[in-house]
Structure 1
Amino acid sequence: MTGRPNAPRTHRASARRRPRAAVTPVLLALAAAALCLLAGHGLPGTSDPAATPVAVHGDTRSETPEATATASVPESGPGTFTVARADAHRTGGGRPYRVEVEDDMGVDPDEAAEQIAAILDDERGWAHGAGVTFRQVADDSATLVIRIATPDTADAICATGGLDTEGELNCRVGRTVAVNLKRWQLGSPEFAGPPEEYRALIINHEVGHWLGYGHRECPGPGQPAPVMMQQIKGLHGCVSNAWPYAADGSFLDGPKVP
């Protein structure tokens, strides 16, 4: 903001008073009819406000599309998970991982597993040049477990590693990656791309931690943000990016966070 706007000027009332119009019985009758119409049945062609449900979250303003989308993501769930079938992975070799989705939150485990497999197999991902490959399993042989969970459940998982994710962030604790449902479904306001692309950033960032990579900073204005940068906290001049490697095969890195 650039300061307070000037107060609106007021006009002095004229020294002369205009003569009041006489109130006739006809005018009184018309006014009474109008009041009855507004109070009893509303204006013609409109619905009764009392009969229209309005979701209110903290205030009485109309909800924006963003607020409506956020409201559609449950904050908490049962804390139980369904394991995805082990047939989403396309190559079948590499480090074993398992996909789990919290129950009763509207995400199909097998569909989520297919998306995660596509991200892990992508040539711009950690499997670039076959440096790291992955194999989806459905048993406890997994050395990496990717869990998609409601914000409250994700927070509880992250808290076991001493992390405060505030109902907003994802994390990696030991062999477990906790994906916050809000980020999976809605993406991030800092990321210039659809939620589907942001899902690649979530998986690549947290799997990067599992592989031993720490956080990175923006390497310079206009450059792609490293996948290990916490892009949800601001791009700092960089451009949104969801992949460890560029299309030409170069690794997209940046200075280590002190």
Structure 2
Amino acid sequence: MGKRVPARRRPYARAALVGVCATAVFVGGGVALANWSKGDPAGAPTADAEAREAPTPSAEVSPPSPGPSVTPTPSRTSTPTPTPSASAESPRTIPVPADGPGTFTTARSGGSPVGSGDTVRRYRVQVENGIELSERQAAVEIETILAHPRGWTADGRNSFQLVGSGPSDFDVKIATPGTVDRICGAAGLLTRGEVNCTVGRTVVVNLKRWVRGSEQFDGPVTEYRALIINHEVGHRLGRGHATCGGEGRPAPAMMQQIKGLQGCRANAWPYAEDGTYITGPAVP
């Protein structure tokens, strides 16, 4: 995301070229990379930061994982979808350590699919160990965001299902700034301890943004969390960046709103109340 800066080698990172789709997963406390199909636009590494090219991996990488499971289930139903509210974990009471161990606990709760689309995208929610954030409560909040009627289910094609175990199509990891930098940096993305990224099948949420929001976003931090999830999951669906569509209009969810609104109004949702997709000129 943003402009590319010259390559800088990091001796600790196993990295893939930015133009190659990659995913970061933890193996024995370290980062291992697996290549994803170049034909899958949702596999491209993206970040709300300047991206840089990284050196070619010096180690072998695993073969591509199978594509997302899209088999619909008969039990798919729409569930009540309230807007994330201030009843979520108080943002100002959660400390934000600069770094963490790089290991995660998966929320073991699961739910029924939400949305009417035939493509059911199963996801897990994982929270880095050692931070004062409940993985179960984070999972409930993310499930509520993805079930919102103005969210990605409004396209009529995609449904989402929170799972606590078994196969998943993508993971949402909430991590300390230092861990975010390592995961995203291994795929050639520069997050500077400040922002989020999507690497392959992993949505990486910076705890700093989850807790503190952004000065550019005029609204409660719970609403900003909805923007984080909608923006990064949008990349998983193959959506690229867009910019402001006109003075006074709502900013697209796929806009990098943390960099400034360019005359638009802060907005967390991909779709308007009338079902119109909110977008603007594509960002190269």
TM-score (norm 1): 0.70
Does residue 105 in structure 1 map to residue 137 in structure 2?
no
Give the corresponding residue for 2:280. 254
Does residue 177 in structure 1 map to residue 203 in structure 2?
yes
Taking structure 1 as reference, are residues 246 and 166 closer, same or farther at Cα in structure 2, changes over 3 Å only?
Answer: same
In the TM superposition, structure 1's runs of 4+ consecutive aligned residues that sit over 2 Å from their partners are 69-72, 86-93
Does residue 82 in structure 1 map to residue 105 in structure 2?
yes
8 Å CA contact 2:113, 2:160 repeated in 1: no
CA distance in 2, matches of 1:71, 1:145: 22
Give the match's secondary structure for 1:157: helix
8 Å CA contact 1:88, 1:136 repeated in 2: yes
Q: Which has the higher contact order (CA 8 A, sep 6+)?
A: 2
Structure 1, unaligned runs of 5 or more = 1-68
CA distance in 2, matches of 1:145, 1:129: 21
Cα distance, 1:236 vs. partner?
0.7
Query: Alignment identity in percent?
Result: 55
8 Å CA contact 2:246, 2:264 repeated in 1: yes
Which region of structure 1 is more displaced relative to structure 2, 123-132 or 220-229? 123-132
CA distance in 2, matches of 1:142, 1:98: 7
Cα distance, 1:143 vs. partner?
1.2
Taking structure 1 as reference, are residues 140 and 165 closer, same or farther at Cα in structure 2, changes over 3 Å only?
Answer: farther
Paired residue type of 2:244: C
CA distance in 1, matches of 2:114, 2:159: 9
8 Å CA contact 2:110, 2:161 repeated in 1: no
Cα distance, 1:160 vs. partner?
1.9
8 Å CA contact 2:128, 2:176 repeated in 1: yes
Structure 2, unaligned runs of 5 or more = 1-91
Give the corresponding residue for 1:219. 245
CA distance in 2, matches of 1:238, 1:108: 34
Give the corresponding residue for 2:225. 199
Does residue 190 in structure 1 map to residue 216 in structure 2?
yes
CA RMSD in angstroms comes to 1.8
- Describe the superposition over 1:13-49 as per-residue Cα deviations: whole angstroms up to 9, x where unpaired: xxxxxxxxxxxxxxxxxxxxxxxxxxxxxxxxxxxxx
Give the match's secondary structure for 1:241: coil
1:155 to 165, 181, 184: 181
Paired residue type of 1:181: L
Structure whose residues are more often strand by fraction: 2
CA distance in 2, matches of 1:86, 1:96: 13
CA distance in 2, matches of 1:247, 1:220: 18
8 Å CA contact 1:89, 1:117 repeated in 2: no
8 Å CA contact 1:75, 1:151 repeated in 2: yes
1:134 to 160, 163, 170: 160
Structure whose residues are more often helix by fraction: 1
Cα distance, 1:249 vs. partner?
0.7
Give the match's secondary structure for 1:163: coil
Which region of structure 1 is more displaced relative to structure 2, 82-91 or 172-181? 82-91
